[in-house]
Amino acid sequence: MANNMREIKSRIKSINQMRQITKAMKLISASKLKKARTQLEETLPYFNKVRETIADILAHSAEVESKFFDIREEKEGKKKAYIVMTGDKGLAGGYNSNILKLTEREIGDNKENALLLVAGTTGRSYFTRKEYHVHTEFDYAVQNPTVFRAREITETILDLYNKQEVDEVYIVYTQMISAISLEPKVLKLLPIEIGALREDVKANEIVLDQKFKYEPSEQEVLDVLIPKYIKGIMYGTFVEAFTSEQNARMTAMDNATKNADEMLQKLNLYYNRARQAAITQEISEIVGGASALK
């Protein structure tokens, strides 16, 4: 009986320690999520203005063109690059597995012509094991998305695209729809679809009814702004992926804490029963010993 009580007490202590860890991890994830969202909101006015200016030039200047708008000719074995945003660690429910499965579905039978740029050690390990072509790893970006790091990744992508080493570029990431809803998504980054850009401007109720004069020229301004526009998309999707991971981890840790609470409740019940049985047995032995003395 005593051994059984010690075992139960030891398990209660272990679960209590685990419960404290899961609660702490939930608080850390909540803090990281809030910080990342705040940083994104601070940069949105700048990137929104870049997007609006590009849309304004396209709306009023039919003659401008860009290599980033060119839809390259259809050909067999088109090279496609995928920027895949996974996490650096687990403990986040199905966050990583959902992104990995979506990426594989998108690649399909085009594995030989798929070039991967992976953020997060989870994705790198998975795709290396599956013998995909992992061109670049951005492990540093996934746990601390910043505009500076988004620029570095953008420059890598633009270099590949400009050298025609890839024909199309996609971002595979997770969007946090709400606190209880995460959605893995695929976003086409290059070439930029003008129609989609205009629809985006329309959806955000941006009014393009004023003709500006651009110096030195509309074409040159456009050439400068488009890489900034791509950088803005890159940063926004990295923040979305990061906050989605933190939200998934918060949910997982919350569930783990609840499970620990249920286990503690059961173990405490078992312990109290065992303790009561031990007390009852001790009283019975005392009574029995007293009776024998008579």
DSSP per residue over 47-94, as a string? HHHHHHHHHHHHHH-TT---TTT--PPP-TT--EEEEEE--SS--STT
Inform me whether the pLDDT recorded for 202 exceeds 70: no
Nearest to 173 by CA among 164, 162, 163, 182: 182
What is the reported pLDDT for 190? 92
53-71 average pLDDT score: 78
CATH superfamily of domain region 32-251 = ATP synthase, F1 complex, gamma subunit (3.40.1380.10)
Please say if the pLDDT value at position 169 is more than 90.
yes
pLDDT digits (tens, 9 = 90+) for 19-50: 888 888 888 888 888 888 888 888 888 888 88
Residue 170, Ramachandran bin (φ over 0: left; ψ between -120 and 50: alpha; else beta): beta
Whether the Cβ atoms of residue 145 and residue 50 lie closer than 8 Å to each other: no
pLDDT at 63 over 80: no
**pTM of this prediction?**
0.80
**Boundaries of CATH 3.40.1380.10 in the chain?**
32-251
**CA distance linking residue 260 with residue 275, whole number of Å:** 22
Q: Is the pLDDT of residue 205 over 60?
A: no
Task: Provide CATH 1.10.287.80 ranges for the chain.
Answer: 1-27+256-293
Give SS3 for 138. coil
* CATH 1.10.287.80, domain 1-27+256-293, yes or no: yes
Confidence of residue 285 (pLDDT cuts 50, 70, 90): low
Indicate the DSSP class of residue 216. Answer: S
Average pLDDT value over all residues in the chain: 82
Residue 145 has a pLDDT of 85
